Structure 1
Amino acid sequence: MNLEGVEKTMLLTLYTKAKHSQQKNHKFFDFKAIDVISEIDYDFSIADKDYQMQWGVISRTIVLDDMVSKYIRSHPRCTIVNIASGMDTRYNRLDNGIIKWYNVDLENSARFRLKYIKDADRVKTLAYSAMDPSWVSEIDATDDVLFIIEGLSMYLTEEDNKRILDIIDENFKSCTIF
């Protein structure tokens, strides 16, 4: 399967999380990232050279893991929708045994993800553009929903970002967006 352009960033972020997790003083431990990276035949040397990207990914992961963990503690039966999820493994780090989790991403990215990170009872991958409102019908929740939109907005126009927020606003009566 060929990944192009922005899709390749999902591999670099996964690799960065796996590499950080193997450091002595890691701030988070991502066993799933380590497992998946060991299965993927890809030249990750570009990620090793990009220290700015590495620290951005690590910092963002630390901050969002903390925010999402706090949300889950306050809303233990919540539903989490990870938009443009790529190869994100946050569910594996933060699952409380109750939450429902949806990963929404473009078809090629979703297929690639499912090749290495299988869905589970409470985890489902949906192959849609975030700007296509069809994905909403597959979410089994209308309130107490947390949306994670990590690493997407910078690739979209202001109009596209607004479209995603409108889809969420029109379909979910009580939600939080990180």
Structure 2
Amino acid sequence: MESKINWKHVSDTLLIPLYCRARETKADEPIIRDTKAVEIFEDIKTSIAGSEKPIHRKIVFDQYNHMLVVSLALRTRRFDRYVADFIKEFPEATIINLGCGLDSRFERLDNGRLTWYDLDLPEVIGIKKHYFSETDRYHFLPASATDLEWICRLKKPENDHVMILAEGLFMYLEEQQTKKLILALRDQFPGGELVFEITAKFWVKRMNSRYFKWKFGRQLGYNKEAMFTFGFKDHLEVEAIGEGIKFLGEWSYFDDRHPKM
């Protein structure tokens, strides 16, 4: 498939997770198997082959450290497991994937009964439509997660079994945006579960120092849009956002003790 998308202007935070899923899928004893990511990635490589953008050159020449690839693959697998466990208990659940990017999780986990919503910015959903098709149970929501009008446009689930995913999202939002979104989700989906990724507040502060900005720019090819802006201090801060919010558990990349780490 020859891409008609101008990948040179696509967000770095969209490309890196896709690259990592594709690369790990092709690795020996892969942590995840995401053949759709491989398909899309091969399409992208053709489009950005001549680009001088640092992140594109690193992708084309496969120059990213394996630890980045392994970390994001472990994250993907963990989120997959959260969803798989949830729909095993509630087969007709509703899953809402915030900041979905080019994620193919619906294809990987669909049980034939759940309802799934992939939400991302309109330009990202426009790209996603190039590779994925909506169905009567799989829907696209072109909107910013922080523009809470999307919640009103969402068809009310037939039951209270709702899981919201925020993989690789909250750390790029401002503190008040994140807390306001969490409260809105609490109000709209009482009894629902929110699975989100976050960085400790301490590390967010360090990552925004001059040295770490230089390091991320040089080693990862990241620009300022990919820098983290928010983190929680601990789980107590999560529960303190509002009444009725209960912290259920946490996981880190090192908890699996995977040999590739």
User: Would the TM-score normalized by the shorter structure come out above 0.5?
Assistant: yes
- Contact (CA 8 Å) 2:93, 2:161: kept in 1 or not? yes
Which residue of structure 2 lines up, in the alignment, with residue 53 of structure 1? 68
- Contact (CA 8 Å) 1:147, 1:177: kept in 2 or not? yes
Structure 2: distance between partners of 1:15 and 1:82:
19
- Higher percent of residues as strand: 1
Which residue of structure 2 lines up, in the alignment, with residue 114 of structure 1? 129
Which residue of structure 2 lines up, in the alignment, with residue 172 of structure 1? 189
Deviations 1:116-138 (A, max 9, x none): 22222211111111111221133
Aligned partner letter, 2:167: E
Superposed, 1:69-108 pairs within 5 Å as: 69-108=84-123
Identical counterparts, % of pairs: 29
Aligned partner letter, 1:46: K
Which residue of structure 1 lines up, in the alignment, with residue 80 of structure 2? 65
Select the structure with the greater relative contact order (CA < 8 A; seq sep ≥ 6).
1
- Contact (CA 8 Å) 2:7, 2:48: kept in 1 or not? no
- Kindly name which structure, 1 or 2, has the bigger radius of gyration based on alpha carbons: 2
Deviations 1:21-49 (A, max 9, x none): 12230122112212222333234542432
Q: Which consecutive residues of structure 2, in runs of 5 or more, have no partner in the other structure?
A: 50-55, 196-261
Aligned partner letter, 2:32: F
Q: Tell me, yes or no, if structure 1 residue 42 matches structure 2 residue 54.
A: no
Count residues with an aligned counterpart: 178
Q: Tell me, yes or no, if structure 1 residue 19 matches structure 2 residue 33.
A: no
- Provide the alpha-carbon RMSD of the alignment: 2.1
- Higher percent of residues as helix: 1
- Contact (CA 8 Å) 1:3, 1:108: kept in 2 or not? no
Which residue of structure 1 lines up, in the alignment, with residue 216 of structure 2? none
* 1:164 to partner: Cα distance: 1.1
Structure 2: distance between partners of 1:95 and 1:123:
9
SS at match of 2:145: coil
* 1:5 to partner: Cα distance: 8.2
Superposed, 1:132-171 pairs within 5 Å as: 132-140=147-155, 141=157, 143-171=160-188
* 1:69 to partner: Cα distance: 1.0
Query: CA 1:145–1:4 in 2, change beyond 3 Å: closer, same or farther?
Result: farther
Aligned partner letter, 2:165: I
Aligned partner letter, 1:19: R
SS at match of 1:148: strand
Structure 2: distance between partners of 1:101 and 1:160:
24
SS at match of 1:49: coil
Structure 1: distance between partners of 2:28 and 2:63:
20
After TM superposition, the score normalised by the length of structure 2 is 0.63
User: Greater shift after overlay, 82-91 or 56-65?
Assistant: 56-65
Query: CA 1:170–1:20 in 2, change beyond 3 Å: closer, same or farther?
Result: same
* 1:88 to partner: Cα distance: 0.8
Q: Which consecutive residues of structure 1, in runs of 5 or more, have no partner in the other structure?
A: none
After TM superposition, the score normalised by the length of structure 1 is 0.89
- Contact (CA 8 Å) 2:160, 2:189: kept in 1 or not? yes
